[in-house]
Amino acid sequence: MHMHPIRSAKMAVVGCGLMGSALARAFASAGHDVAVWNRTPGKASAVGGGTRAFDSLVEAVSGRELVVVSLSNYAAAAEVLSERGVAAALTGTTLVQLTSGSPADAREGLAWAQAHGVDYLDAAILAYPSFVATEYATVYYAGARGIFDRHVETLQAIAKNSVYVDEKIGAAATLDCAILEAYYGGSLAFLHAAAMCKAEGLDPKALFAQKNSFLGLISVTADAAQDMIEKNGFSGDQCSLNTHVAAIEHIVRLSQDARISARFPKELLDNYKRAVSAGLGDQELPAVFRTLTQD
Ligand code: NAP
């Protein structure tokens, strides 16, 4: 669907990797005037979709009200932004840092921007490139609310679901890391689970057919955990940590007997057992949280 923005923004996308290219095309297809730049120039000219490729970064960002950066990491961004003339060309514009990083990276980014008179938002995108501009894309933003409000309409071209998280500049990166941990951890868990099935001669299809069972369990536990963390009370009458530990021991044993990697279930066991050792054995599963807030 072609969207017609109320106002066409003059903007630039710095970095035309898989994500940057998708972002640039989405902005352009929403009607914005999009300059693109990439270290390897061929990728910038390949973006297409009505974007305009520049060989010079200074020329790409000059006179643009909004500059979106999507590079591999903050070290790459720092390198690019320190190129001669770039900081001066960005003065007075808004820089949206869409490169994934840690909260500390975001704080350094803000310090750099403030030192150069650049308005700054730190952002994190929760989407694969093919999700950009669809309902499956979410982008989290942190920084001054006023800067976000000024650009949100333009930014919605990449994700209608543009979420302002907090004024604290590290907030978007924090939330991104938190969601990604649940994603990567959960994904590793079901991949190991599929490996257990296969090793025991059970078609992994049987596991995936039960997807809603384990996702449902996680969902219910997340709700319970939220409540318990808020109240700092973890007792209940559903299932003690002692009982959960016994279940995890079966997972470790299955893995060892079937001669597949037992690393992941052992790490799980280690974490849950630590909570039992801390005297929380008769409390509910989310009590593990109490042992994770220290080193
Ligand atoms: P990518 O395809 O590997 O692209 C990386 C980009 O960074 C390229 O434009 C590359 O330029 C540039 N780059 C790397 N080092 C550089 C340097 N020292 N100086 C200048 N440019 C440099 O990665 P991507 O998937 O687009 O990811 C970009 C960002 O989006 C990352 O922070 C990633 O975590 C985030 N992200 C990606 C996804 C995803 O699904 N792909 C999802 C969420 C978030 P060259 O072309 O010259 O190498």
Domain identity same for 100 and 240: no
Residue 2 maps to a domain: no
Domain C-terminal end among 121, 145, 169: 169
Q: Give the closest residue (by CA) to ligand 1 atom 15.
A: 76
Residue 5 maps to a domain: no
Domain identity same for 157 and 208: no
- Could you tell me how many helices (H) and strands (E) the chain has, helices first? 13, 8
The side-by-side arrangement of strands in the sheet containing 138-143 is: 52-53, 33-37, 10-14, 66-69, 94-97, 119-126, 138-143, 161-166
> In a mutational test of the pocket of ligand 1, which residue from 18, 23, 55, 72 has the highest number of ligand atoms less than 8 Å from its CB?
72
Q: For 214-263, what is each residue's pLDDT tens digit?
A: 999 999 999 999 999 999 999 999 999 999 999 999 999 999 999 999 99
Pairing assessment for the beta strands 138-143 and 119-126 based on DSSP bridges: antiparallel
pTM value is 0.93
Residue 4 maps to a domain: no
Domain of residue 198, CATH code? 1.10.1040.10
Token pair recorded at residue 271: 């974490």
Alpha carbon of 72 to ligand 1 centroid (Å): 3
Whole-angstrom distance, CA of residue 199 vs CA of residue 268:
20
* Eight-state DSSP code of residue 280: I
Q: What's the sign of the alpha-carbon dihedral 204, 210, 213, 215?
A: positive
Domain identity same for 130 and 248: no
Q: Which residues of 150-162 are buried (b: 16+ CB within 10 A; e: fewer)?
A: bbeebbbbbbeeb
Whole-angstrom distance, CA of residue 198 vs CA of residue 116:
56
Domain of residue 127, CATH code? 3.40.50.720
Residue whose C-alpha is closest to residue 140's, from 150, 127, 154:
127
Domain identity same for 16 and 131: yes
Q: Give the closest residue (by CA) to ligand 1 atom 2.
A: 17
Residue 1 maps to a domain: no
Domain identity same for 180 and 159: no
Domain identity same for 160 and 33: yes
Domain identity same for 16 and 140: yes
Alpha carbon of 147 to ligand 1 centroid (Å): 25
Domain identity same for 150 and 279: no
Pocket of ligand 1 (CB under 6 A): 15-20, 38-40, 43, 70-72, 76, 79-80, 99-100, 125, 128-129
Domain C-terminal end among 169, 191, 225: 169
Report the nearest atom of ligand 1 relative to the CA of 21. Answer: 26
Domain identity same for 133 and 191: no
Provide the residue-wise pLDDT of the chain in tens; the chain has 295 residues. Answer: 555 546 899 999 999 999 999 999 999 999 999 999 999 999 999 999 999 999 999 999 999 999 999 999 999 999 999 999 999 999 999 999 999 999 999 999 999 999 999 999 999 999 999 999 999 999 999 999 999 999 999 999 999 999 999 999 999 999 999 999 999 999 999 999 999 999 999 999 999 999 999 999 999 999 999 999 999 999 999 999 999 999 999 999 999 999 999 999 999 999 999 999 999 999 999 999 999 987 7
Domain identity same for 45 and 130: yes
Residue whose C-alpha is closest to residue 287's, from 270, 272, 265:
272
Domain count, the chain: 2
Residue 122 maps to a domain: yes
Domain identity same for 213 and 151: no
Residue 189 maps to a domain: yes
Q: Give the closest residue (by CA) to ligand 1 atom 44.
A: 125
Alpha carbon of 131 to ligand 1 centroid (Å): 16
Report the nearest atom of ligand 1 relative to the CA of 71. Answer: 7
Domain C-terminal end among 169, 203, 224: 169
Which range of residues forms the domain containing residue 99?
Answer: 10-169
Using the structure block, give the residue that is written with the tokens 């500049």: 169
